[in-house]
C-alpha cells in the first residue's frame, strides 16, 4: 500500500497554454513511499520478497518517482487516469501517440507535447518509476528497491550478459554490467564473442579484456567491439534488488490515486476510471502486470479498467526473478536466449503441447482489464505476435474472449512514428517511415469508450489462417524487388530454458506472418492509406549490411522500397511492381482512392476524423503523383 505521496512542486505546463476545450494543464512532480506485506497473497509472487529487509511493522518498503500532468480545472478534464508505463525510465507517450519529439523526459513546452492529443482528451496523465536500474539522468523515472540478502549475507549467483555494439545503443566503449561483480579476478569470469547466435562462442584470452571496475569491463588496447557481434560475459554477481516491487509500486500508486480521498491533492479532482498504455518494453510490462495478478490491489479492487499494449508481441519482461535484466529484449540476432516469451501468450485459454501447460494471459478472477493489443508487422517477424491469436503450433485461429482485442497495423515497423526517416543505418534496405499512430490514437479512444460506456471497440483485425493471409515466412509471396534484401525466416520462439547456460532448443513454437499482395504490402490487418493506396512497399523486416553480420534480421527495423516512377523506370530495372504512373491516372485519381480508404477506416473506427483530414490534405500535396 502507499504510505505517502509528497508533492515537490506544481507548475504550469507550457506557460498555461490551453489544450482544446480542456484548457490549461499543470505539472505535478513528486515522489511516493510504499510498503508491502510479504505474507499477503497479493505480494507473494514478488521474487526475493522473502529475502528483503523488513521495517518495524514487518513490511518491505519502496520509493518511486511520480510525475503527473493534470487539467488545471479538473471539471474540464475527463476524470480518467492515463498511466503510461515508462520505457527504461523514459516517457514515450508524446513522442509516439502525439507525434511529438523523441527523448523529451521533462515535458514543459508546447513543442514537447506534439499535437497534444492525450491532453486534448482531458486525461490526467501519470507516470511513476518501476525499474530500480532505469537511468536517473534527464528526469528518468526510477524505483528505489531494497537489496535482498540471505540471512544478512550477500546473495551471489553466476549470471550471463550480452553486449552488442552499433545496433541498439550505439558504439560501445565499455560494457556496463547489470550487477556488481564479486571479484575483479579475471580468472573467475569469461568473455566470449561470436558473430551469430547459432555460432559457437569463442573465448577471449584474459589479455584481450579487463575490468574497469566492479560494474564494467572493456576490450584492451583501445580495441573496439566488432559491429553487431555478440559479446557474452559470464561472471559471479551479487546484491540483487527486489525488482518485482516495481509491479507493486505501479499497482499501489494508481490504486491510491483512484480510491484514496486524499489523492485529489495530486490529481486535482476525483478519478472515475484508470487506463494504462505502454510502448514496447512497457507494453510487455503490462502483459506481466495482468498475468501476475497485479491488476488487483491489496484490498481486492481493480487497478486499471483498460489497458492498451503497443508493440509488445507475445513478450513479457525479464524482471520479476533473481538477477533479472529488464532492459533485455529478444530478437533473431540479439538477446535471443534471455527470458521474454513464456506460455500462455494469448488471452484465449489454450493448452501448450510443448510444455504441457494450460492457461491464458488473463486470470479470470475478476481482475482482468479490458485489453487492446496493437502490433506492427515487425512483431510478427521478431516477437511471435501470431501466437496472440493462434494455437501454440499455429494450426488454428483462436477466438479471443470478449474483453480482448488484437490488431496488426500492416506495413509498419517496431517504433514507427511520425517523423521517422528512411535512413538505412546499419541495414541494407531503407528504413520504414510508415506511421502506425493514427490507429493507436483511434483505439485508445475506443478503449476509453469501452471502459466508460460499454461500447465495444472494432473487432480484432489480424491476418488469419481461415482467409489465407497468415502464412509461414517463406511463403509470404514477396515479389522479386531489384536490389532488395528479403527476409524469409522469423525469430524462433521457444519455451524458456537456462538463460545463464543456454542450450539449443529442441522444441519451437510455429510463428506466422502476413501474406503480401503483388506490391509486397501486407494483405491483412489494418491497412492505412499508405498500404491501401501505396507509393512504395513497406515491410516489418530488414537485414544488416557489412560490417554487421550478413543475413541477420536487423533488430526491429522495417524496409521501405519505393515504386518505380513510370513504366520506363519499371522496365529498365526489371521491377515486377506497377509504377506510380501506371497505377494512378492523375493526382485527382490518387486523392479519390485515398478518400475511399480513409472513409472505410473512419466507418470502422480505426482512425479519427482529425487524422482522416490529414491524410486527404497530404494526398493533395503528394509530389510523386502526376497532376
Q: Which residues contact 427 (CB under 8 A, 6 or more apart)?
A: 485, 542, 543, 544, 545, 554, 557, 559
User: Which pLDDT tens digit goes with each residue over 437-473?
Assistant: 999 999 999 999 999 999 999 999 999 999 999 999 9
Coil, helix or strand at residue 104? coil
Predicted confidence (pLDDT) at residue 169 exceeds the cutoff of 90: no
Listed residue (364, 379, 358) closest to 556, CA to CA: 379
The whole-chain average pLDDT of the chain stands at: 97
Look at residue 463 in the predicted model and tell me its pLDDT: 98
User: Which pLDDT tens digit goes with each residue over 202-232?
Assistant: 999 999 999 999 999 999 988 999 999 999 9
Burial 176-212 (b: 16+ CB within 10 A, else e): ebbbebbeeebeebbbbbebebeeeeeebeeeebebe
Burial 21-56 (b: 16+ CB within 10 A, else e): ebbbbbbbebbbbbbbbbeeebbeebbbbebbeeee
Mean pLDDT to the nearest integer, 589-593: 98
Look at residue 189 in the predicted model and tell me its pLDDT: 98
Q: Which residues contact 433 (CB under 8 A, 6 or more apart)?
A: 416, 420, 421, 422, 560
- What confidence category does residue 627 fall into, taking pLDDT thresholds of 50, 70 and 90? confident
Predicted confidence (pLDDT) at residue 489 exceeds the cutoff of 90: yes
Look at residue 468 in the predicted model and tell me its pLDDT: 98
User: Which pLDDT tens digit goes with each residue over 599-616?
Assistant: 999 999 999 999 999 999
Look at residue 170 in the predicted model and tell me its pLDDT: 87
Query: What percent of the chain clears pLDDT 90, i.e. is strictly above it?
Result: 98
Predicted confidence (pLDDT) at residue 137 exceeds the cutoff of 90: no
User: Which pLDDT tens digit goes with each residue over 265-316?
Assistant: 999 999 999 999 999 999 999 999 999 999 999 999 999 999 999 999 999 9
Listed residue (566, 57, 84, 627) closest to 304, CA to CA: 84
Q: Which residues contact 471 (CB under 8 A, 6 or more apart)?
A: 477, 512, 513, 514, 515
- What confidence category does residue 181 fall into, taking pLDDT thresholds of 50, 70 and 90? very high
Mean pLDDT to the nearest integer, 413-424: 96
Coil, helix or strand at residue 186? helix
Task: Give the H or E element holding residue 560.
Answer: strand 559-562
Burial 320-332 (b: 16+ CB within 10 A, else e): bbbbbbbbbbbbb
Mean pLDDT to the nearest integer, 184-205: 97
Look at residue 60 in the predicted model and tell me its pLDDT: 98
Could you give the CA distance from residue 618 to residue 325 in angstroms, rounded to a whole number?
Answer: 43
Q: Dihedral (C-alpha) 85, 87, 90, 92: value to the nearest 10 degrees?
A: -70
DSSP letter at 217?
Answer: E
User: Which pLDDT tens digit goes with each residue over 331-361?
Assistant: 999 999 999 999 999 999 999 999 999 999 9
Q: What is the DSSP string of 36-53?
A: E-TTSTTTTTSTTGGGS-
Look at residue 222 in the predicted model and tell me its pLDDT: 83
Predicted confidence (pLDDT) at residue 536 exceeds the cutoff of 90: yes
- E-strand ranges in 335-461 read 350-351, 358-359, 370-376, 404-409
Look at residue 549 in the predicted model and tell me its pLDDT: 96
Q: Cis before residue 624, ω within 30 degrees of 0? A: no
Burial 459-470 (b: 16+ CB within 10 A, else e): ebbbbbbeeebb
Amino acid at each position: 500500500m502507499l504510505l505517502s505521496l509528497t508533492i515537490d512542486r506544481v507548475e504550469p505546463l507550457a506557460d498555461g497554454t490551453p489544450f482544446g476545450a480542456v484548457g490549461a494543464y499543470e505539472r505535478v512532480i513528486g515522489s511516493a513511499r510504499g510498503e508491502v506485506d510479504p505474507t499477503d497473497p497479493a505480494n507473494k509472487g514478488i521474487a526475493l520478497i522473502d529475502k528483503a529487509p523488513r521495517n518495524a511493522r514487518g513490511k518491505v518498503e519502496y520509493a518511486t518517482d511520480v510525475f503527473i500532468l493534470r487539467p488545471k480545472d479538473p471539471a474540464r478534464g475527463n476524470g480518467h487516469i492515463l498511466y503510461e508505463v515508462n520505457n527504461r525510465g523514459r516517457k514515450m507517450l508524446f513522442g509516439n501517440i502525439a507525434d511529438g519529439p523523441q527523448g523529451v523526459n521533462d515535458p514543459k513546452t508546447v513543442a514537447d507535447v506534439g499535437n497534444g492529443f492525450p491532453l486534448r482528451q482531458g486525461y490526467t496523465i501519470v507516470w511513476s518509476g518501476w525499474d530500480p536500474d532505469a537511468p536517473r539522468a534527464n528526469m528518468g523515472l526510477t524505483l528505489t528497491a531494497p537489496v535482498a540478502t540471505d540471512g544478512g549475507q550477500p546473495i551471489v549467483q553466476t549470471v550471463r550478459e550480452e553486449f552488442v555494439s552499433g545496433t541498439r545503443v550505439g558504439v560501445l566503449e565499455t560494457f556496463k554490467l547489470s550487477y556488481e561483480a564479486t571479484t575483479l579476478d579475471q580468472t573467475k569470469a569469461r568473455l566470449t564473442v561470436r558473430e551469430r547466435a547459432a555460432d559457437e562462442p569463442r573465448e577471449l584470452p584474459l589479455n584481450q579484456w579487463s575490468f574497469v571496475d566492479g560494474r564494467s569491463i572493456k576490450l584492451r588496447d583501445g580495441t573496439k567491439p566488432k559491429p553487431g557481434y555478440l559479446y557474452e560475459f559470464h561472471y559471479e554477481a551479487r546484491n540483487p534488488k527486489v525488482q518485482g516491487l516495481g509491479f507493486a509500486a505501479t499497482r499501489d500508486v494508481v490504486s491510491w490515486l483512484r480510491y484514496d480521498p486524499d489523492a485529489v491533492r495530486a490529481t486535482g479532482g476525483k478519478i472515475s476510471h484508470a487506463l494504462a498504455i505502454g510502448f514496447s518494453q512497457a507494453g510487455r510490462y503490462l502483459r506481466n502486470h495482468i498475468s501476475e495478478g497485479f491488476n488487483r490491489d491489496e484490498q481486492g479492487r481493480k487497478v486499471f479498467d483498460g489497458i492498451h499494449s503497443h508493440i509488445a508481441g507475445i513478450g513479457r519482461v525479464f524482471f520479476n526473478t533473481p538477477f533479472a535484466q529488464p532492459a533485455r529484449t529478444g530478437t533473431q540476432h540479439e538477446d535471443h536466449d534471455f527470458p521474454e516469451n513464456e506460455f500462455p501468450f494469448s488471452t484465449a485459454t489454450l493448452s501448450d503441447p510443448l510444455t504441457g501447460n494450460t492457461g491464458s494471459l488473463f486470470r479470470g478472477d475478476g481482475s482482468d482489464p479490458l485489453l487492446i493489443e496493437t502490433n506492427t508487422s515487425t512483431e510478427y517477424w521478431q516477437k511471435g505476435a501470431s501466437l496472440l491469436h493462434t494455437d501454440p503450433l499455429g494450426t488454428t485461429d483462436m477466438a479471443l474472449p470478449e474483453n480482448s482485442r488484437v490488431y496488426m497495423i500492416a506495413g509498419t515497423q517496431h517504433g514507427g512514428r511520425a517523423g521517422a526517416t528512411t535512413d538505412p543505418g546499419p541495414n541494407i534496405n531503407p528504413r520504414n517511415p510508415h506511421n502506425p499512430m493514427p490507429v493507436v490514437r483511434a483505439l485508445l479512444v475506443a478503449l476509453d469508450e469501452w471502459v466508460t460506456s460499454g461500447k465495444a471497440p472494432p473487432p480484432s483485425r489480424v491476418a488469419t489462417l481461415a482467409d489465407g493471409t497468415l502464412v509461414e515466412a517463406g511463403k509470404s509471396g514477396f515479389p522479386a524487388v531489384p536490389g532488395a534484401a528479403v527476409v524469409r525466416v522469423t525469430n524462433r520462439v521457444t519455451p524458456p530454458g537456462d538463460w545463464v547456460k543456454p542450450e539449443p532448443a529442441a522444441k519451437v513454437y510455429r510463428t506466422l506472418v502476413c501474406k503480401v499482395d503483388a506490391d509486397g504490402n501486407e494483405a491483412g490487418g489494418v491497412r492505412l492509406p499508405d498500404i491501401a493506396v501505396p507509393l512504395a512497399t513497406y515491410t516489418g523486416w530488414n537485414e544488416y549490411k557489412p560490417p554487421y553480420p550478413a543475413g541477420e534480421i536487423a533488430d526491429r527495423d522495417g524496409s521501405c522500397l519505393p515504386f518505380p516512377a513510370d513504366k520506363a523506370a519499371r522496365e529498365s530495372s526489371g521491377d515486377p511492381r506497377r509504377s506510380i504512373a501506371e497505377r494512378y491516372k492523375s493526382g485527382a485519381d490518387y486523392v479519390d482512392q485515398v478518400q475511399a480508404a480513409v472513409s472505410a477506416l473512419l466507418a470502422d473506427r480505426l482512425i479519427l476524423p482529425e487524422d482522416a483530414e490529414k491524410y486527404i490534405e497530404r494526398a493533395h500535396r503528394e509530389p510523386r503523383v502526376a497532376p
